[in-house]
Amino acid sequence: MTSPSLDVLAIGNAIVDVLARAEEDFLASHGMAKGGMTLIDEARAEAVYGAMGPGTEASGGSAANTAAGIASLGGKAGFIGKVRDDLLGSVFGHDIRAAGVAYATPAATDGPATARCLILVTADGERTMNTYLGAAQNLTTAEIDAAMVQCAKVTYLEGYLWDPPAAKAAFLEAARIAHGAGREVALTLSDAFCVDRYRAEFLDLIRSGTVDLVFCNEAELKSLYETADFDAALVALRKDAKQAVVTRSEKGASFVTPGAVVSVPARPVARVVDTTGAGDLFAAGFLVGHARGLDPATSLRLGALAAGEIISQMGARPQRSLLDLAREAGLIA
C-alpha cells in the first residue's frame, strides 16, 4: 500500500453562501419564515438574489467547510463537489483552493446553476436562509476521482448528499475504491431530518462496514435509534459502529468503539457569535488527529478547539490559523 498524500478527501455539496442585511418587511414581502431554512428552486433563487441588497459571498457546504478546517490545521485535504461554470461556481473554486484544499472537480457546462444559500440577516442578528441546491445535487460516479480517493487516508462523506440517487451511487463507489486501497471511510449524518429520511440506509452503511467512522451530534444519534434516551442510543451505536464520534455541544464529545468510550469536555468560549459550522469544524479537528495517528482524546480536543474557534466568529471558514491555535494549546507539535 502506497503512503497516502492526503489526510482527508471530503465529498459533499458545493455551496456558496450569499449574506445580506435585510429589513423585517423584506422577509414578509417575500413570504420568508424568519429564522428558518427553506429549500427553493432556481427561479426563486434568482428572484431573491436580484431583490437582495449588497451581499457578501462566502463559500460553504458542510464537507467543504470540514476540508477548509483540515487545511487550516496543517492537514492535507481534498474536496469533490459539483458546481456550474458560472460566477458563483468560480467563487466556490477560488475560495476552497485559496484555503489550501485540493479541488479539481470539473464544473458543469449545462444544467442547474451553482448551489447557493441566500442568507438574510435582520437587525437582531437572526439569519433567514433560502437554499437552492442546484448543480451540487448532480454529483455522479463520473466525478469520483479514483486517484484522489486512493491517496487519502480517510474519505469523508456528507450525509446531506445522500438524497439524489446519482450522488448516493457516487458515495458507494468512493467507499469501494477507498476500501480497495486499504483506506478508511467516514460519514457525517449531517442533520436529524436527514437521518429521519434515511435511517435504515445509514444503519446499513454502519452495520455492513461500508463506513468505518461515523460522526453525529446528540439529536442525530437519537434520531438514528428513534429514542429520546441518549445513553440507550449510545449503547446501540457501540454495538453497530466500528468507531464513532458523538458531539454534545456544551456537554463535550466522545469517541466510541464497541470496547471503549473516551470523552472530553467542550472548550470554553468567551462568547458564542455564530454556531454555523461547529460540527463541520469539530470533524476537521478530529480527522486531522485521527489521520496522524494521535490518540482519541487528543483528536477530540483538536475537534473541540476548532469548533470553539468557529463559533467565536461569523461564518464557517476559519479566519485565524487553527494550526497556530493548536500549537499554542500543545495539541500539535
Residue partners of 281: CB distance under 8 A and separation at least 6: 65, 66, 69, 303, 306, 307, 309, 310, 316, 318
Chain segment 55-104, per-residue pLDDT in tens: 888 899 999 999 999 999 999 999 999 999 999 999 999 999 999 999 99
Residue 1 pLDDT exceeds 60 = no
Q: Identify the pLDDT of residue 2.
A: 65
- What is the grid cell recorded at 25? 418587511
Chain segment 272-300, per-residue pLDDT in tens: 877 778 899 999 999 999 999 999 999 99
Residue 25 pLDDT exceeds 60 = yes
Beta carbons within 10 angstroms of residue 244's beta carbon = 25
Q: What domains are there in the chain, each with its CATH number?
A: 6-13+62-105+138-329 (3.40.1190.20)
Residue 151 pLDDT exceeds 70 = yes
Give mean pLDDT, residues 175-187: 98
Q: Is the separation of the CB atoms in 166 and 140 below 8 Å?
A: yes
Q: Identify the pLDDT of residue 219.
A: 93
Q: pLDDT grade, residue 174 (50/70/90)?
A: very high
- Round to whole Å and give the CA distance between 67 and 62: 9
Chain segment 128-137, per-residue pLDDT in tens: 889 899 999 9
| One-character DSSP codes across 67-94 | HHHHHHTT--EEEE---BSSHHHHHHHH
Residue 200 pLDDT exceeds 70 = yes
Model pTM greater than 0.85? yes
